[in-house]
Structure 1
């Protein structure tokens, strides 16, 4: 392959990866989809490709659709143990973040809700909401009619906005203060303060502490507060699993405030918060090492703020 063709692909690699990540919810799978797209670009008769960006977008989208429709993916996701892979702020795979829709489309909450859409609905929604593709172009990418694209996006938007707790965007500094207050209450064992910081319909989901695959789910703020208090109470056994006494940092993950537990070996667990109106509405706890691999790599190159808790 000649250098201009490689340069043209590389110029769009981050955009293709951020599209694939939104469709698949996994950085590893997104990277595989982009690599497969490169191999097809390498083998293509590029002289006949009039619009390379459109061609590459169509190829990577359809590779992702094939993955979403595969028997393996359906089994894994239908089992109820699937969780999006978190990414640290600044990761190019998070993609465009100029509009509310673009920022929302990469939140862990919306990535999870999009699991309930059909693959074509998900693709149409992501292309329109996150990448501002008009329906005529979406129709060409997905090999559907323009009216079908409009219907898919309308159904997807209605489902996501109906089930998503959408409020005013939270100022990052304000969200950080709430999370720091929440962390202080959790590490001190003040359950009543935790309950006061949670919305009445707060929820939590966790993959456990370590390599567990079965997700744990909690509803009602009392149960969520009990889970959080137990999770943040240090024990010798937890420190052995973590590989030491981790420091607790606050950072942005997929656009949301998060607490990261960090040892000398790296990030061993995170809790991602949804915050609105001065309260926490949901938490996602992730500790499985494979789900944190890319985030950990980014953290090692990151200049973090001082820890909120220096030794847990």
Structure 2
């Protein structure tokens, strides 16, 4: 086996892990794939003969690539008031896709990714690598150009922000019951039944793409009113899993128009994140809905 084939074999053994790191860093499936590809190119060009821990070396390289990508983002996030919902990972309610399951190991819900989007790039990297993948601060520090103590502080600041994200209920079946109750009430236009399954402080975010302004609704009564307004769309939804949690895809005229992710905590819907950007929805792999 020549050097190239040997490196390719080692890289493939770590690809799913690297994609998981990149997805949490970037919140974009296509950009995560780009970051993984760039990591492979750097490995192929580097003198890796002295690398003892290939997995650790690759993790720090993909982290550096992602950090550069985060810092170079300008066009999509020029307006800080824009609502941006990260790429959802949509799967059948039965699950069963090994690649997606690997990507979602140590489950990362869409609501958590939304919070990660608000972090500064160095904070996000420090938190993701340390708290999600147990990378020591001594290895994170050179990536962000700080001391280990400063990298620890970056992760600590990020952690305080993330701790405000509600932890979903552990029972997936119970989560599904709550979401089904919400959808049934929305289809029937039952305002009080909607309010009953919504947390009083629920936040609903809708990302409609660059050509249409996004929206944020806060509070059970505002979200319930919005659900009734869009009852026709709700009639056309199909149950799915979104990042491992109950969700719904709306299909109109044979094509998907939106993906909704629900966060259920303490038996109530505490957050909804809706991707309704036509271009991004069209890129999602929803072929399983035709099975």
Say whether 1:46 aligns with 2:48: yes
Q: Distance in 2 between matches of 1:211 and 1:67?
A: 20
The alignment's TM-score, normalised by the length of structure 1, stands at 0.81
Q: How many residues align?
A: 284
The alignment's TM-score, normalised by the length of structure 2, stands at 0.86
Q: Distance in 2 between matches of 1:212 and 1:253?
A: 24
Distance of aligned partners of 1:233 and 1:74 in 2 relative to their CA distance in 1, 3 Å threshold: closer
Q: Partner of 2:15 in structure 1? A: 13
The correspondence of residues 88-237 of structure 1 with structure 2, limited to 5 A, is 88-89=90-91, 90=97, 92=99, 95=102, 102-103=106-107, 106-161=108-163, 163-166=164-167, 169-208=169-208, 212-233=211-232
Q: Where in structure 2 are there 5+ consecutive unaligned residues?
A: 92-96
Query: Is the Cα contact below 8 Å between 1:256 and 1:273 reproduced in 2?
Result: yes
Query: Is the Cα contact below 8 Å between 1:86 and 1:292 reproduced in 2?
Result: no
Say whether 1:276 aligns with 2:283: no
Q: Partner of 2:94 in structure 1? A: none
Q: Distance in 2 between matches of 1:283 and 1:38?
A: 36
**Aligned-CA RMSD value:** 2.7
Higher relative contact order (CA 8 A, sep 6+): 2
Q: Distance in 1 between matches of 2:6 and 2:253?
A: 43
1:26 Cα offset (Å): 0.5
Q: Partner of 1:241 in structure 2? A: none
Aligned-partner SS, 1:249: strand
Q: Where in structure 1 are there 5+ consecutive unaligned residues?
A: 239-244, 305-312
Q: Distance in 1 between matches of 2:73 and 2:216?
A: 25
* Post-superposition CA distance 1:121-143 (Å, at most 9, x none): 11111112211223333335545
